[in-house]
Structure 1
Amino acid sequence: MEFVQSTEKDLGIIFGLYDDAVVFQKTVSNKHWKQFDREMVITEIKEGRQWKIIDNGGVACIFVVAYSDPFIWGERGHGKAIYIHRIVTNPSFRGGNYVKAIVAWASQHAKETGNTYIRMDTWGDNARLIEYYTSCGFNFLGVFAPDDISQLPKHYSDITLAFFEMEVK
């Protein structure tokens, strides 16, 4: 298993996995992601924040790292933290415990970048993911509405989010 920064050559894979995620989300919830802006993803790639996990020669999982998150976390986002967003596991690799691998990687990455916390969010009514993320070592902080959705993807309209935090040791 290898963590590698995504490149623009990965855009087809990234957007294909986003589409796969939406199909899955629709089978388990009435909430799902809307189409992501291509330029936003290209910017994330250029900034070195879009990552992929290569396992057995294939892209098993993708995710995005942010080093601030004022629109979602607002004042609750105090302290130095990295934020993990848009984790998508390739359907062919489900069951590979990639979130736990991301947590281990993120702990090391947070230390290397001088951060104290790892933070995540998911839809506020997603009991299954709330339970799973706490089983991965995150503290569940509660359910909140994003502070400012003006700069966020469309699926953040009229929602609440479950917030998670883990102190890096």
Structure 2
Amino acid sequence: MTLEKSNIEDLEEIFKLYKQASQFQETKKMVVWPSFSKEMVINEIKEQKQFKIIISNQIACVWAIAFTDPLIWGEKNKDAAIYIHRIATNPNFRGNNLVKEIVEWSKKHAKINKKEYIRMDTVGENLGLINYYKKCGFEFLGLSKLNETNGLPAHYKNATVSLFEIKLT
């Protein structure tokens, strides 16, 4: 297993994983991801903020990071944090605790970038997902109703989000 930066050649597979994630969300009666902008993902790749886990020469999982997230985190955005977004796992690799691998990678990446927190959100109050993220080391901070969502993907419109954080020591 390797964790590395995504590259432009991964674009088709990234969008395939997003589509599979959306289909999975539908089966679980969760908030479903919209179609994400290709330009957004290309920019993340260029800015080296899109990552992947490779297992047996296959992309097993992808995610993106940001170092600022004011529309979701409000006042807490002033903290030095890394924000994880859009974790999408290849169905062939579900159940392999890949989020725990992302957390361990994020701890190292956060320290290199002098960040004090690892943060993540998910739309809605999905108790199964909340418990899973807690098992991965996140503290569940509760629910937050988003006020200003212009500039965020469509599934955030009028949304309540579950907020998660790991404070690094």
TM range (shorter): over 0.9
> Post-superposition shift, 1:5?
0.7
Amino acid at match of 2:131: E
After TM superposition, give the deviation of residue 76 of structure 1 in Å.
2.7
Deviates most, 57-66 or 121-130: 121-130
Tell me the matched-pair count: 169
Q: How does 1:122-137 map to 2 (within 5 A)?
A: 122-137=122-137
Counterparts of 2:127 and 2:30, CA distance in 1: 14
Q: Is the 8 A contact 2:61 2:98 kept in 1?
A: yes
1:87 Cα deviation after fit: 0.3
| 1:30 shift after superposition | 4.5
4+ long deviations beyond 6 Å = none
| Counterpart for residue 69 of structure 2 | 69
1:83 aligns with 2:83: yes
TM-score (norm 2): 0.96
Q: State the distance in 1 between where 2:55 and 2:107 align.
A: 20
Shift of 1:66: 0.5
Q: Deviations over 1:22-81 (max 9, x none)?
A: 100000015200100110111111000000000121100000010010111111323100
Residue 91 of structure 1 aligns with an amino acid whose one-letter code is: P
Q: Which runs of 5+ in 2 are unaligned?
A: none
Q: Which consecutive residues of structure 1, in runs of 5 or more, have no partner in the other structure?
A: none
Following the alignment from structure 1 to structure 2, what is the Cα–Cα distance between the partners of residues 98 and 146?
Answer: 28
Distance 1:76 1:28 in 2: 31
Q: Is the 8 A contact 1:6 1:45 kept in 2?
A: yes
**1: CA distance, partners of 2:37 / 2:5:** 19
Which position in structure 2 is the counterpart of 1:12? Answer: 12
Q: Distance in 1 between matches of 2:98 and 2:147?
A: 29
- State the partner residue of 1:107: 107
Where 2:158 maps in the other structure, the secondary structure is coil
In structure 2, the residue matched to 1:139 is 139
TM-score (norm 1): 0.96
Pairwise CA RMSD: 1.0
Corresponding residue SS for 2:128: helix
Q: Which residue of 2 aligns with 1:35?
A: 35
| Cα distance in structure 2, aligned partners of 1:16 and 1:90 | 9
Percent of aligned pairs with the same residue? 49
